[in-house]
Amino acid sequence: MSLRAWMIAEFGECEGDFVLDPEPIVAWAQRLTTFSLEEASQWMAQEDIRTVPIEKLRAMRRLKHALNTLAHALPRTNVEQKHPELVPWLQFRTRLV
């Protein structure tokens, strides 16, 4: 996905193209959103992050990676307009572990 995002950023979005379509990256990030934004906020607000179950931390890390990859492709695409549900997650991603 990182290579795909780089190519989209470099060459631009091309809907339906095997490589230059950002939708697979969007779908990947959406699949990794297995918890709510509120849950993630509560976990990140813990005084001691070690109290958060390791599987939750791993899920947040995978999601952060996907969102960073998606954000890399965004400047040259209109993903935010097509998928406004991702905007809060993209804004929150810097707070994820």
Number of domains in the chain: 1
Tens-digit pLDDT profile for residues 28-58 = 999 999 999 999 999 888 888 889 899 999 9
Which residue range(s) make up the domain with 74?
2-95
- In 1-97, which ranges are E strands? none
pTM, entire model: 0.81
Classify 8 as helix, strand or coil: helix
Nearest CA to 95 among 47, 56, 43, 53?
A: 43
pLDDT in tens, 57-79: 999 999 999 999 988 877 767 78
CA–CA dist 31, 26 (Å, integer): 9
The whole-angstrom separation of Cα 61 and Cα 23 is 21
Which residues, at least 6 apart from 23, have a Cβ–Cβ distance to it below 8 Å? 15
